[in-house]
């Protein structure tokens, strides 16, 4: 456990989050509200307390199955808007000033959303979140780990609609047996159109998947990438090329990607000089939030207030926020750290 003073410092610290999924970030209150709209036609409970119990995952596969049951609650534009707006409000309450929210459009399009309608709804929710809470949201459109039409459809949505908030193309879904390289044409097209490349790799698969993401998908950051720790040459490469890993410690324990927090490779990654950020991934599903992940990182890395503020700065620097926005947010972190440091003034 970290000291209460450090917890308070983290809670008030202005932060950026780079790895969080839109459905996975929905609070049990919002999920229960959506489930109530479809009672009798969903296994998801319509009671927030029961939603929390519903999120007890046996393994990564069970997690993905549960995740898709919650995705299936988003059936109308109003459902989608409610979800995004709720996530934005929850982030603002944690002093998240900027977030790149990973959205997997495929299941929503398969449910009947028209591409333009889908983008209009998320953009409207994004603008309302910014106006009401001051939190900037940006989108990472995520290929759901399925080649063929789902991957093609995701790319087309990104390139044809190109909503203002879109900054990157991602690759999520199942990893095992889903080589990253097969999506090279999609990432090449996205990058040619000016989008950034942020695939999941090395979460539950080997370092080879991270190499594929770097070499074949032009990854600028890697979602998770924790298994890079098994390959010293890869660690050197990531450090040298400043490819940031979006590390989500509690998520990795909940999906059984690592056996326990005590055995999490975060310290080894930092030791190897690899840039890292700390993120919540699917926070209510994993019984966490971004503040808690900062506390976990502080414990694993023995960080003090300065170390925690540096972690927040690392997320801003590795983000796809423009130069002006980055400077403003970094200045805000500096001012907060200066005003709230419990260290004696010398
Ligand atoms: Zn993820």
How far is ligand 1, taken at its centre, from the CA of residue 95, in Å?
Answer: 21
Six-digit token string for 1? 């456990």
pLDDT at 173: 87
Q: What is the mean pLDDT of the chain?
A: 95
pLDDT at 221: 98
How far is ligand 1, taken at its centre, from the CA of residue 3, in Å?
Answer: 29
Q: Annotated catalytic residue: which of 203, 246, 293, 305?
A: 203
Kindly state the average pLDDT of the residues 243-255. Answer: 95
pLDDT per position as a tens digit, 57-82: 888 788 889 999 999 999 999 999 99
How far is ligand 1, taken at its centre, from the CA of residue 345, in Å?
Answer: 40
Q: Is 293 in the active site?
A: no
pLDDT per position as a tens digit, 83-123: 999 999 999 999 999 999 999 999 999 999 999 999 999 99
For the chain, domain boundaries: 4-336
Query: What's the CATH superfamily of 4-336?
Result: Metal-dependent hydrolases (3.20.20.140)
How far is ligand 1, taken at its centre, from the CA of residue 341, in Å?
Answer: 32
Ligand 1 ion: nearby residues, β-carbon < 5 Å: 281
How far is ligand 1, taken at its centre, from the CA of residue 66, in Å?
Answer: 14
């Amino acid at each position: 456990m970290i000291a209460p003073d450090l917890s308070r410092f983290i809670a008030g610290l202005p932060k950026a989050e780079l790895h969080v999924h839109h459905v996975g970030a929905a609070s049990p209150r919002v999920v229960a509200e959506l489930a109530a709209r479809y009672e009798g036609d969903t296994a998801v409970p319509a009671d927030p307390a029961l939603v929390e119990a519903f999120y007890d995952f046996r393994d990564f596969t069970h997690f993905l199955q549960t995740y898709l049951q919650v995705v299936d609650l988003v059936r109308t534009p109003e459902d989608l808007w409610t979800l995004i707006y709720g996530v934005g409000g929850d982030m603002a309450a944690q002093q998240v000033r900027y977030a790149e929210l990973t959205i997997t459009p495929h299941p929503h399009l398969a449910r009947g959303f028209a591409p333009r309608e889908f983008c209009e709804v998320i953009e409207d929710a994004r603008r309302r979140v910014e106006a009401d809470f001051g939190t900037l949201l940006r989108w990472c459109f995520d290929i759901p780990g399925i080649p063929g039409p789902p991957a093609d459809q995701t790319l087309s949505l990104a390139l044809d609609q190109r909503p203002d908030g879109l900054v990157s193309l991602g690759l999520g879904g199942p990893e095992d047996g889903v080589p990253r390289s097969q999506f090279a044409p999609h990432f090449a097209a996205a990058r040619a159109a000016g989008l950034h490349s942020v695939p999941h790799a090395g979460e539950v698969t080997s370092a080879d998947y991270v190499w594929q993401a770097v070499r074949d998908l032009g990854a600028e950051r890697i979602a998770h990438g924790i298994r890079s720790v098994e390959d010293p040459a890869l660690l050197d490469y990531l450090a040298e090329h400043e490819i940031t890993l979006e590390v989500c410690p509690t998520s990795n324990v909940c999906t059984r990607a690592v056996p326990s927090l005590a055995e999490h490779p975060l310290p080894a990654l930092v030791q190897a000089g690899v840039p890292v950020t700390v993120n919540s991934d699917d926070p209510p599903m994993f019984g966490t939030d971004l503040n808690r992940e900062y506390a976990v990182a502080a414990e694993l890395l023995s960080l003090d207030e300065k170390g925690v503020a540096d972690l927040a700065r690392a997320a801003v620097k590795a983000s796809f926020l423009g130069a002006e926005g980055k400077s403003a947010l970094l200045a805000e972190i500096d001012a907060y750290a200066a005003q709230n440091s419990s260290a004696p003034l010398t």
